[in-house]
Amino acid sequence: MKLHDVAVVGATGLVGRTMVQVLQERAFPVNRLVLLASERSTGKELDFNGGSVPVQALSPDKFRHCEFVLFSAGATVSREFAPLAVRSGAVVIDNSSAFRMDAQVPLVVPEVNRRQIFKHKGIVANPNCSTIQLVVVLKPLHDRFRVKRVVVSTYQSVTGAGQKGVDQMMDELAGREPAQKNFSHRIAHNALPHIDIVFDDGYTKEEWKIMNETSKIIGEKIRLTATCVRVPVVGGHSESVNIEFEKKCSVEEIRETLRQAPGVVVMDDPKANVYPMPVNVQGKDDVFVGRIRKDETVSNGVNLWIGADNVRKGAATNAVQIAEALVLGK
């Protein structure tokens, strides 16, 4: 198999480090790995394939000869440097919000809309972490039963705010004043119904992402409303999802459809205390679903509980899966 020169931008961040780990775990055919970050990270080293790779300061010349560049350094960095990487001949897979709603940029979850990858013009966007785990479950159900309306409430790990979010919670739990505050209130022993900025209509940017990205990925308008909550958890995001369908469906038909869906694991035996939780989805690349039950308030409704590791499938793994598809050409 041909080997490829790969760069990771934001390599020392929580997602960037996980991208490097996932590239190794999945045996991605790497010839040369280039690790890029800010000046303050220069000189650090990350383990990869039995050796160590030094971190270099991000600059346009570092993209030379790279075939894939995975970005996870925030939208500002992506807007400045992703086009430069494309001009150098690389395909960019961007984990920020910079290009997600750009009509010229595919927004891809491989289990859902894999063919869109090959319509790229140099950049492929990774969706928001909460959107990824939702659409992996929603798309096969939509294909079979046709979604009429969705109500989503998220319970999002502090890892969604990166290492700084984790550090704030750990400082608070230890009774220390956080070195840097990343949330609008304390997160330890708390729940914050506020992720990212609040728009004039009362919705947050995180909620807006889920509502709009879902429709773009599935390829048609999905009526969806969301409430996003940050909770003092490390390990994964959880979602309570209520779906109303156009077609009749039984709980067993829902389970059967999801058992056959790519990337989905049904973990649904609540009487035996079996259902997805951050502690049992952490470190895994699938999306887990349980607590599947009928919504008796509507004709064709169901309630689901979805869990996934937001740093892996919600970010790093999804990006690497996109690169794998490009390598395979299918």
For residue 20, give both structure tokens. 């490097």
| Cβ atoms of 228 and 195 closer than 8 Å | yes
Cβ neighbors of 205 (< 8 A, separation 6 or more) are 195, 196, 197, 198, 199
What is the C-alpha to C-alpha distance for residues 171 and 292, in angstroms, rounded to an integer? 37
* Nearest of 265, 269, 271, 253 to residue 307 by alpha carbon: 265
Catalytic-residue membership of 65: no
Which one-letter amino acid corresponds to residue 240? S
4, 120, 142, 237: which is the annotated catalytic residue? 237
For residue 161, give both structure tokens. 């705010």
- The alpha helices in the chain, defined as continuous H runs, are 14-25, 75-87, 110-113, 129-145, 162-173, 205-218, 251-259, 278-281, 317-328
DSSP string, 99-166: STT-TTS-B--HHHHGGGGGG-SSEEEPPPHHHHHHHHHHHHHHHHH-EEEEEEEEEE-GGGGHHHHH
66, 129, 228, 249: which is the annotated catalytic residue? 129
308 phi and psi angles, rounded to 5 deg: -160, 155
What is the C-alpha to C-alpha distance for residues 116 and 278, in angstroms, rounded to an integer? 30
Catalytic-residue membership of 129: yes
- Based on its alpha-carbon atoms, the radius of gyration of the chain, rounded to whole angstroms, reads 20
* Catalytically annotated residues: 129, 237
